[in-house]
């Protein structure tokens, strides 16, 4: 369990990092916290020729709220965001972050790294998709902003070009009169989610984000319905996501969790809403 050989680039600026990416393209991979990538390297599941370490870049280390968005730089760890004083502006992030890996992995794992990795069971891509956030990509060719929906294109696949890197992610702050809830089930607390569900509710209805079932986080909006209607709607979603089976859980178990956890988070979000 030793990685194949690679060169390690430690740029001092984003511009230098982009130089390396331009030169090596698909043979290069950004290293931020390494909590997913290092394991893949050690098992030789991924064998990039060049790693570009951006973890020390000051220009990627800030968290700021501007124009209704929380902008998180690409070197910001999950733990730093969790402890950021402005986090209550988006309660869903505060609900989701404690479920991202473990205390130890959150010290190194980055918010944008989770997005770039695009694991289907991962909490942060789910939050970004549900909140309608966006990702800021940079390359020598310039910068562009991609919506969450357009960013993650498949399991561990994104719309990032080979010469691009994430410089920041933007999570919208909570709307007035909105409430959120989150629930997750894995084999143990801190494991990859078998199913993770988040809900954001307001007067018009509730939007669900569902992870761990389809290849990318699924986002579904529901009008407020009576309990029976809600159960039917959740059942339709559960089947529509075409859950698969793996060593941890059957497709049926995943569908059951979509129904059960879906009802739970909707109830919790609605209760939070009514409490104002």
Summarize as ranges the residues that interact with other proteins (CB under 8 A): 1-5, 29, 37, 39-40, 43-48, 117-121, 154-158, 185, 187-192, 194, 215, 231-232, 235-236, 239-240, 244-250, 252-253, 255-257, 259-261, 264
Which is it for strands 205-211 and 142-147: parallel, antiparallel or unpaired? unpaired
Residue 80 to residue 63: CA distance in whole angstroms: 9
Who's near 104: CB < 8 A, 6+ residues apart? none
What is the nearest approach in angstroms of other proteins to the Cβ of residue 139?
18
Nearer CB in complex with other proteins: 89/231: 231
Residue 128 to residue 130: CA distance in whole angstroms: 6
Tokens of 171: 């999570």
What is the nearest approach in angstroms of other proteins to the Cβ of residue 39?
8
Nearer CB in complex with other proteins: 147/260: 260
What is the nearest approach in angstroms of other proteins to the Cβ of residue 260?
5
What is the nearest approach in angstroms of other proteins to the Cβ of residue 62?
27
CA–chain centroid gap for 146, Å, is 14
What is the nearest approach in angstroms of other proteins to the Cβ of residue 166?
14
Nearer CB in complex with other proteins: 74/174: 74
Nearer CB in complex with other proteins: 174/213: 213
- Least Cα distance to 182 among 275, 265, 88 occurs for 265
Nearer CB in complex with other proteins: 90/158: 158
235 CB neighbour count, 10 Å cutoff: 14
What is the nearest approach in angstroms of other proteins to the Cβ of residue 90?
26
Nearer CB in complex with other proteins: 2/67: 2
């Amino acid at each position: 369990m030793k990685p194949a050989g690679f060169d390690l680039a430690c740029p001092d600026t984003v511009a230098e990092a982009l130089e390396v990416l331009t030169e090596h393209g698909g043979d290069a991979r950004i290293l931020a916290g390494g909590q997913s990538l290092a394991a893949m390297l050690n098992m030789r599941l991924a064998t990039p020729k060049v790693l570009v370490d951006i973890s020390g870049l000051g220009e990627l280390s800030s968290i700021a709220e501007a124009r209704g968005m929380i902008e998180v730089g690409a070197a910001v760890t999950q733990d730093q965001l969790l402890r950021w004083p402005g986090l209550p502006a988006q309660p869903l992030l505060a609900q989701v972050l404690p479920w991202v890996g473990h205390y130890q992995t959150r010290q190194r794992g980055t918010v944008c790294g989770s997005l770039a990795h695009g694991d289907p069971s991962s909490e942060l891509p789910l939050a970004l998709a549900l909140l309608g956030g966006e990702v800021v990509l940079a390359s020598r060719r310039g910068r562009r902003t991609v919506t969450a929906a357009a960013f993650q294109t498949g399991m561990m696949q994104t719309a990032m070009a080979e010469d691009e890197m994430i410089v920041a992610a933007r999570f919208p702050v909570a709307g007035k009169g909105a409430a959120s809830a989150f629930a997750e089930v894995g084999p143990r607390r801190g494991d990859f989610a078998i199913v993770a569900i988040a809900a954001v509710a307001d007067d018009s209805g509730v939007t669900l984000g569902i992870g761990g079932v389809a290849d990318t986080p699924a986002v579904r909006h529901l009008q407020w319905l009576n309990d029976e209607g809600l159960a039917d709607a959740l059942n339709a979603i559960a089947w529509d996501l075409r859950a698969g089976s793996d060593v941890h859980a059957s497709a049926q178990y995943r569908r059951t969790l979509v129904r059960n956890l879906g009802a739970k988070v909707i109830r919790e979000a609605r209760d939070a809403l009514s409490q104002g």
